[in-house]
Copies of this chain bind each other. A is one copy, B any other.
Amino acid sequence: MRSLGQRIELLKVIAHPVRIKILEELTKGVKCVSDFEEFLEISQPNISQHLSLLRNHGIIDFYIDGRLRCYFLVDPIIPDLLEILKKDYHEALPGPECCPVTKKGKYPGDRRR
């Protein structure tokens, strides 16, 4: 199982608008850097930086085709994670029924709120 540290790392890496867009594109298939330049409105060096970060974390990889670098997804958690993030959840979780027990709770009076 991923350690706590690894889970945090993964979340931090994904939690950026450019990087999540990159990953969403890659779930559809291989893309080279200049493909990304078409729809990400940031500079080429910046795109490369984000791609490197994703690669250093083992989330994506690439193969070389001439002077192109073709990136693709490697980490299988990514599609699942992206899917859940897009899913609609209508109901909030049910609140605690009544007087649930916290360690210090004694509930001497009425519960408020």
Give the residue of B38, B68, B76, B100 whose beta carbon is less than 8 angstroms from that of A93. Answer: B76
The reply to whether the CB of A43 lies closer than 8 angstroms to some CB of chain B is: no
The reply to whether the CB of A109 lies closer than 8 angstroms to some CB of chain B is: yes
Question: For window 72-113 of chain A, which residues contact chain B by CB distance below 8 Å?
Answer: 72-81, 84-89, 91-93, 95-96, 99-109, 111-113
Number of copies: 2
Report whether B17 and A5 are in contact in the complex, using a CB–CB cutoff of 8 Å.
yes
- Give the shortest distance, in Å, between A36 (CB) and chain B (any CB): 10
Report whether B66 and A106 are in contact in the complex, using a CB–CB cutoff of 8 Å.
yes
The reply to whether the CB of A16 lies closer than 8 angstroms to some CB of chain B is: yes
- Give the shortest distance, in Å, between A40 (CB) and chain B (any CB): 13
Specify which chain B residues have a CB less than 8 angstroms from the CB of A2 in the assembled complex: 85-86
State the CA gap A102–B101 with chains docked (Å).
Answer: 57
Interface residues of A (CB under 8 A from B): 1-2, 4-5, 7-8, 10-12, 14-17, 20-21, 29-32, 34-35, 38, 61-66, 68, 70, 72-81, 84-89, 91-93, 95-96, 99-109, 111-113
